[in-house]
Structure 1
Amino acid sequence: MRKNLKDIFLIILAVSILAIVYFFSKWNKIDIDENIGKSREINDLNSKVFDPAFLMFDSAKIRTDFEIFEKEDDTVSFNLKINKSLRSENIYSLTFKSGDGFSGINIDVLKYRNFSYTSAEFYTDDKSMFDFINSGRYTLKKQKLTLNKSQYKKGDSIFGKIELQIKFNPTDSIVNSRGYFRSIIE
């Protein structure tokens, strides 16, 4: 009986250690810059306009200038939505969306306390039978998130900057993307 309890304890300990290693290998610490909301880049969002090629239904106000591939003009193709978890005080989801109604990309950032995890998802309505075999179109290599504070309540203003290093898998090219954002926690 004692040997069984010892084995169960060792299994639980091993699973716990693996979970901690996974957390610290995938999640990055968030930088805090209290003055980012007053930066020139945040104020420049007022002069940006939506790219007419992309359908934007939920906002007439520019919330982010994030782009995967660098643009020289003041058009924006991404929109941003930030939600607070209903179940936890410490979990927030930031979703950067770009699409034309038929295909697009979502950059999802999950914030837990002072850590963040980012993923990229390409979507399309042009599906084939063997899509599950293809790996994702984008792979995130590096991520960095800067926010104006560490804790928010529903209705608070949030300002920040996101920096990503993304591998575009069809061509194996690496793209450095960044953008500033502002929104209200929903």
Structure 2
Amino acid sequence: MEVLSLLLNKSKVSKTIKKFKVNKMKKIIKYAFLTIISLSILVIGYFFSKCNNINIDENLENSSGINNLNSKVFDQAFIMFDSAKVRTDFEIFEKEDDTVNFNFDVHKSPNSENIYSMTFNSGDGFSGVNVHILKYRNFSYTSIESYNDNKSMFDFLKFDRYTLKKQKLTLNKSQYKKGDSIFGKIELQIKFNPTDSIFTSKGYFRSIIE
């Protein structure tokens, strides 16, 4: 009887320990799930706090700003684009002539019907600047970065040359599919950090959704 009693008690203890471990695991999973949900909400909230509503102008395709792109030519530094059609006259620093320093391309996400990536690029093959626009539905998020192929161990101490202060994006329509023509206007307020100067940078653009 004593042996049987010991076995029963041992079985009860084992079940209690097992139940405790299961409950503990459930709590860990629950807290992990809540943490992931909370972080996701924070990330989404941060994204939309930095986003702007996109303006729609259905007549943009026929505007003088878009038509003027036909008279623009690439700067001599962009000899690689000589035979290409000018897609944008966007400039960070205002220019007085008809040469352009930026090229433009736009890609539709293969994984979503609502995400598009637009890039304005200016560079000499070694250094330059990229302006990225992420379009999601009727919202846009713009970022700007300078780059340089000459890397050094102290690069992490350097501040970026540009800081984006304000952004405004106008498109000819709200939704596109691959192969569609896109026409737009970008207006940015950019701080040039080396001199603390504020510039109003703007330009028209056109392309085909890739």
TM-score of the superposed pair, with normalisation by structure 1: 0.91
What is the DSSP-based 3-state SS (H/G/I as helix, E as strand, rest coil) of the residue aligned with 2:120? strand
- TM superposition shift of 1:37: 0.6
- Aligned equivalent of 1:175: 199
What is the DSSP-based 3-state SS (H/G/I as helix, E as strand, rest coil) of the residue aligned with 2:88? coil
Which moves more between the two structures, 47-56 or 34-43? Answer: 47-56
Mapped to 2, the partners of 1:59 and 1:166 lie a distance apart of: 31
Q: How does 1:54-133 map to 2 (within 5 A)?
A: 54-57=78-81, 60-133=84-157
Mapped to 2, the partners of 1:185 and 1:85 lie a distance apart of: 10
- TM superposition shift of 1:7: 5.7
Mapped to 2, the partners of 1:17 and 1:58 lie a distance apart of: 46
- Are residues 90 and 59 of structure 1, via their aligned partners in 2, closer, same or farther at CA, if it must alter by over 3 Å? farther
Tell me if structure 1 keeps the 8 A contact 2:74–2:82. Answer: no
What is the DSSP-based 3-state SS (H/G/I as helix, E as strand, rest coil) of the residue aligned with 2:77? coil
Mapped to 2, the partners of 1:161 and 1:172 lie a distance apart of: 25
- Aligned equivalent of 1:145: 169
Choose from 43, 65, 80 the match for 1:19.
Answer: 43
CA shift digits 1:59-92 (9 cap, x unpaired): 6101000000000111101000111111111111
Mapped to 2, the partners of 1:73 and 1:93 lie a distance apart of: 29
1:161 maps to 2:185? yes
Mapped to 2, the partners of 1:78 and 1:59 lie a distance apart of: 15
Tell me if structure 1 keeps the 8 A contact 2:74–2:81. Answer: no
Which moves more between the two structures, 11-20 or 48-57? Answer: 11-20
TM-score of the superposed pair, with normalisation by structure 2: 0.81
CA shift digits 1:35-69 (9 cap, x unpaired): 11110110010001111123444961010000000
Mapped to 2, the partners of 1:112 and 1:59 lie a distance apart of: 32
Mapped to 2, the partners of 1:125 and 1:20 lie a distance apart of: 33
Choose from 48, 53, 63 the match for 1:29.
Answer: 53
Mapped to 2, the partners of 1:158 and 1:20 lie a distance apart of: 27
What is the DSSP-based 3-state SS (H/G/I as helix, E as strand, rest coil) of the residue aligned with 2:90? coil
- Aligned equivalent of 1:52: 76
CA shift digits 1:88-107 (9 cap, x unpaired): 11111111011111111111
Structure that is richer in helix per residue: 2
Which moves more between the two structures, 77-86 or 7-16? Answer: 7-16
Q: Which runs of 5+ in 1 are unaligned?
A: none
- Give the RMSD, CA atoms, in angstroms: 2.1
- TM superposition shift of 1:8: 6.1
- TM superposition shift of 1:9: 7.1
- Percent of residue pairs identical: 74
Tell me if structure 1 keeps the 8 A contact 2:162–2:191. Answer: yes
Structure that is richer in strand per residue: 1
- Aligned equivalent of 1:43: 67
Q: Which runs of 5+ in 2 are unaligned?
A: 1-22
Mapped to 2, the partners of 1:20 and 1:112 lie a distance apart of: 12
Tell me if structure 2 keeps the 8 A contact 1:56–1:79. Answer: no
Which moves more between the two structures, 63-72 or 94-103? Answer: 94-103
